[in-house]
Amino acid sequence: MRLSFGFSFLAFFFYAAASLAGSWSDAAPLQNARAALGADVLDGRIYAVGGAGLLAPLDTVETYQSGGGWRADQALPVGLEQFGLAASGGLLYAAGGYAAQGNGEVSNSMWVFDPKIDEWTITQPMPTARASFVFVALHGRLYALGGSGPQADRMAIYDTRAGEWTPGGITPVGQRRGASAVVLDSKIYVIAGGEADNPGAQVDVYDPASGKWSTAPDIPVARSGHTAAVLHGKIHVFGGRSGGRGETLNDHWVFDPQTAKWMAAEPMPAPRTGAAAVSYNDAIYLLGGGSGGGFFAPFTAIASTLIWRPGPGQ
């Protein structure tokens, strides 16, 4: 359901009373401006991978380690954007998305990076192609959900030990694009997303142990193209784009599963969509993204790195 500006304002006003203290600071910028990138933490380093540059999907990879800046790492075999990235078992997996040489077609390829040999190799492809989907790792399995592409409304599960994909059934996530997903307490939370001009606010929760889906309270403002990360047992959601005119957002919402409530937190210094967020060294690092508004937001890639640190006792 589309939310009007008036509803968004009232939602913010209502939830602002329950706010989470914290502050933003700048960190060393990425070497390359990028939006719709992938990011994760592996072996004590943040990896920023691929994404939409100012002209084409990037194959460049950068890593960040505490106490230093960004440095170039082993490039992807092909430029990718709107793909999935997840770390599991000491390896980094990049799947799907749009490839630089793909003529606009959605990909089902998957690549795996082994930092011990500093090499990307192609591995078992996804059962079907998809882009702008969510991709998370949990207990040695990778889960691909939603997005655009044939049968993207069906979950696909990759067993990293067996090296095999298992096609799953249709899920409540459907073919929502531009959603975000995190793992918390061994469950997968899929947050918002939808069609570009009609994003949703729903939060679907999957428990792999039982194979069952449930719902959590909707995020107060519908969106797509946002990013999310977990810190201290809470889910943080940043920016994205709202419905209607496609306004790019700078808001920051926090979900506490213990109280099942959303709280407003310190907004980002500027609107951002298509960014990536990771938890690292007791903080959340927000990487890249698009800074513009409306249709052109994903094409205004930036190199900014921001750090959000919680307040005392948070």
What's 126-178 look like in SS3? CCCCCECCEEEEECCEEEEECCECCCCCEEEEEECCCCEEEEEEECCCCCCEC
**Per-residue model confidence as pLDDT tens digits over 205-235:** 999 999 999 999 999 999 999 999 999 999 9
Per-residue pLDDT band for 3 (boundaries 50, 70, 90) equals very low
CA-to-CA dists, residue 140 to 47, 51, 186, 219, 280, angstroms: 19, 25, 12, 29, 21
**Within 10 Å of residue 84's Cβ, how many Cβ atoms?**
26
Reported pTM? 0.92
Place of tokens 């933003």: 24
- Mean local confidence (pLDDT), 299-308: 93
223, 224, 219, 187: which is closest to 203 by C-alpha?
Answer: 219
User: Is the Cβ–Cβ distance between 211 and 166 less than 8 Å?
Assistant: no
Answer yes or no: is pLDDT of 293 > 90: no
pLDDT at position 213 is 98
Q: Which CATH architecture has domain 5-310?
A: 6 Propeller (2.120)
Element (H, E) at 5: helix 5-15
Ordered DSSP codes for 6-35:
HHHHHHHHHHTTSEE-EEEEEEPPPSS--B
Contact 94/53 with Cβ under 8 angstroms?
no
First vs last C-alpha separation in the chain: 33
Classify 74 as helix, strand or coil.
coil
What are the residues whose beta carbons fall under 8 Å from the beta carbon of 198, sequence distance 6 or more? 2, 243
Q: Per this entry, what is the length of the chain?
A: 314
243: confidence class by pLDDT, cuts 50, 70, 90:
confident
Mean pLDDT of 99-123: 94
pLDDT per residue over 152-186, tens digit each? Answer: 999 999 999 999 999 889 999 999 999 999 999 99
Single-letter amino acid, residue 234: K
Domain ranges of the chain: 5-310
Q: What mean pLDDT comes out for the span 72-100? A: 97
Q: Which amino acid is at 59?
A: D
∠ CA 205-137-107 to the nearest 5 degrees?
A: 100
